[in-house]
């Protein structure tokens, strides 16, 4: 399921970029609003769950048996939505074989500013540590 999700998001990103590179940010902002409709509960907003490389507050953890996240920044919340969606569709067996490098295939990191990239990759690392 992991590879299919990565391909699905990569296709969406490529389509948006072909229309207008700024459409990617509009898409991320929309996904960010979607993330916060079912966000990580405030009691999980702890230092242990914080993506410290993000310029804004961004938290991720498992709640009710699945990943959830919360961010006050809509673009960070947008990439968090995508990562939560991918992680929540992975089997536990898949999760054990995935690395940060596998997410580069989606090429979302190339569309983010340097400061957003560091938060994005740190969030992946946090989530991988929680599933292994």
CATH code of 85's domain: 3.90.1010.10
As a whole number of angstroms, the distance between CA 60 and CA 6 comes to 20
Task: Name the packing angle between helices 2-19 and 74-89 (round to 10°).
Answer: 150
Q: Give dist(CA 95, CA 115) in Å, integer.
A: 26
Mean of per-residue pLDDT scores for the chain? 95
Domain residues for 7? 2-131
pTM: 0.96
**Per the structure, how many domains does the chain have?**
1
Question: What would the pLDDT profile of 23-48 be if each residue is shown by its tens digit?
Answer: 999 999 999 999 999 999 999 999 99
CB atoms within 10 A of CB 73: 18
């Amino acid at each position: 399921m992991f590879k299919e999700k990565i391909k699905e998001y990569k296709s969406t990103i490529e389509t948006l970029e072909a229309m207008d590179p700024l459409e990617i940010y509009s898409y991320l902002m929309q996904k960010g609003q979607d993330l916060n409709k079912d966000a990580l509960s405030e009691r999980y907003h702890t230092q242990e769950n914080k993506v410290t490389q993000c310029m804004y507050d961004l938290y991720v953890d498992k709640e009710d048996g699945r990943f959830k996240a919360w961010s006050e920044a809509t673009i960070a919340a947008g990439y968090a939505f995508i990562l939560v969606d991918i992680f929540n569709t992975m089997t536990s067996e898949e999760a054990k074989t995935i690395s940060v490098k596998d997410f580069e295939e989606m090429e979302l990191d190339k569309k983010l500013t340097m400061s957003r990239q560091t938060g994005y990759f740190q969030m992946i690392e946090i989530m991988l540590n929680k599933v292994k």
